[in-house]
Amino acid sequence: MSLPPALHSLLLNGPAQSHYDPLKYGGSAVIRAAWGRHKAELLAACKPGTRPWVFWRIELGIPKPAGEAGELRIIKKLEIYRNEEEKAYVLGRLEEITAGLRAAWTLRRQQPHAVA
């Protein structure tokens, strides 16, 4: 059985980005049941280094981390990689993000400060 589009959107993106009202259809029990039945499908719909909103809420009991780096950091910290390819992606992407931040910080420090 496939998920209704609005429930699918809720499970992937969360209530703020969905038009599905879980309270109207049974609340958290519906969300838990749908996650249990469609976990593999929902995880497969996510790019490497990401998880659906419902994963964070149901599996870990936390809000979905803010931004790409937040999600990657928690996946790394908890070592919840789906496979070795995802592990390599997460570690590499975090290194890219860190290198970019270092470069921006170094460039900013090298710029002369304006004097008023």
Residues 90 and 49 sit within 8 Å (Cβ to Cβ) = yes
Residue 9 included in any domain: yes
For tokens 């009991």, name the residue. Answer: 61
Task: Provide the domain count of the chain.
Answer: 1
H helices then E strands: how many in the chain? Answer: 5, 0
Task: Say what the pLDDT of residue 1 is.
Answer: 61
pLDDT, residue 101, reads 76
Amino acid at 18: S
Does a structural domain hold residue 47? yes
Domain interval for residue 66: 5-110
Q: Which residue has the higher pLDDT, 33 or 18?
A: 33
Angle at 113 between CA 110 and CA 116, to 5 degrees: 170
- Is residue 116 in a domain? no
Residue 17 has pLDDT above 90, yes or no: no
- Quick: pLDDT tens for 52-107: 999 999 999 999 999 999 999 999 999 999 999 999 999 999 999 999 777 777 77
Q: SS3 sequence, 23-34?
A: HHHCCHHHHHHH
Amino acid at the residue 89 = Y
* Residue 82 counted as domain residue: yes
